[in-house]
Amino acid sequence: MPAIGWTQEALAGRLGVSRRTINEILREKRSASADMAHRPARLFDTTPEFWLGLQQDVDLWNARRAAGGEYLKIKPIRKPA
């Protein structure tokens, strides 16, 4: 937001949500919902899928970090030769 000179309050006002909602999303205390994805999509002329994709990227990264090496213990199914 600094790049466009907006505060959290200004962004919240443009999106029609509370400043608290914006703050919690930015601090990763709340995930972006489908409803929330539509709002910046409209504001910035993008798509809701773009915003949900960003949320999905964060979710996947957090899951991998939290799991440590657990995923590496899962043996892939190999196709027969």
Mind listing the pLDDT tens digit for each residue in 7-61? 999 999 999 999 999 999 999 999 999 999 999 999 999 999 999 999 999 999 9
Please name the fold of domain 2-67. Answer: 434 Repressor (Amino-terminal Domain) (1.10.260)
Global pTM reads: 0.81
The residue among 19, 56, 20, 16 whose CA lies nearest residue 36 is 16
Q: What pLDDT is stored for residue 80 in this prediction?
A: 78
- CA distances 25 to 13, 54, 73, 74, Å, are 15, 12, 32, 32
Quote the pLDDT of residue 62.
Answer: 95
